[in-house]
Amino acid sequence: MTLQMKEIHIGEMLFRAVTEREIHEERICKFFGCSSSKISEMYTCKSIDTELLLKWSKLLEYDFFRIYSQHLILYSPPIKAVGKANNYHCLPKFRKNIYSNEVINFFLELIASGEKTIAQILQEYEVPKSTMYRWLSKRVPMDKR
């Protein structure tokens, strides 16, 4: 699943994952305790309830929530523009940035295609310079940089 999209249509992603994994509809209906028409309806939804998404994640053994968190890393405005987000004490604290292989590849593809420079990625996505150069040293040959 690529992260190069600004729009997430979770129903389509669920359908593709089910098709790819060749999971029979009867198993899905039994897992959710609903009819096949309800499952088909979920495939058409752009978004679904978090409880349902958690069940889909368990059934398909894939963290669909990560799609949304990666989307936040790529497309949300910088924290400075929004305000101080770390003042919330009732919410759990997570590491500021968790870069999956998909996100790292996305950044490296932007650089390789010439769509963005290293400096632009560092500034726009607030990737630490040392992190970016570590990715480059591990994944991109010297003559391609």
Mean pLDDT, the chain, rounded, equals 82
If you average pLDDT over residues 39-56, what whole number do you get?
A: 94
**Distance of alpha carbon 16 from the chain centroid:** 15
Provide the 8-state DSSP code for 45: -
For residues 136 and 142, the answer to whether their CB atoms sit within 8 Å is no
Q: Does domain 10-71 correspond to CATH entry 1.10.10? A: no
If you average pLDDT over residues 27-50, what whole number do you get?
A: 95
pLDDT band at 67 (very low <50, low <70, confident <90, very high): confident
User: Tell me: the pLDDT tens digits for 6-16?
Assistant: 688 999 999 99
User: Tell me: the pLDDT tens digits for 93-134?
Assistant: 555 556 778 888 888 989 989 999 999 988 888 888 988 988
Checking if the pLDDT of 137 tops 60, the result is yes
Q: Where in the chain is the domain with CATH 1.10.260?
A: 10-71
For residue 73, the model assigns a pLDDT of 73
User: Tell me: the pLDDT tens digits for 110-121?
Assistant: 998 999 999 998
DSSP secondary structure string for all residues of 50-114: HHHHHHHHHHHTS-THHHHHHHHHHHSPPHHHH--GGG-SSSPP--S----HHHHHHHHHHHHHT
For residues 105 and 73, the answer to whether their CB atoms sit within 8 Å is no
* CA 138/CA 121 separation, integer angstroms: 17
Checking if the pLDDT of 85 tops 70, the result is no
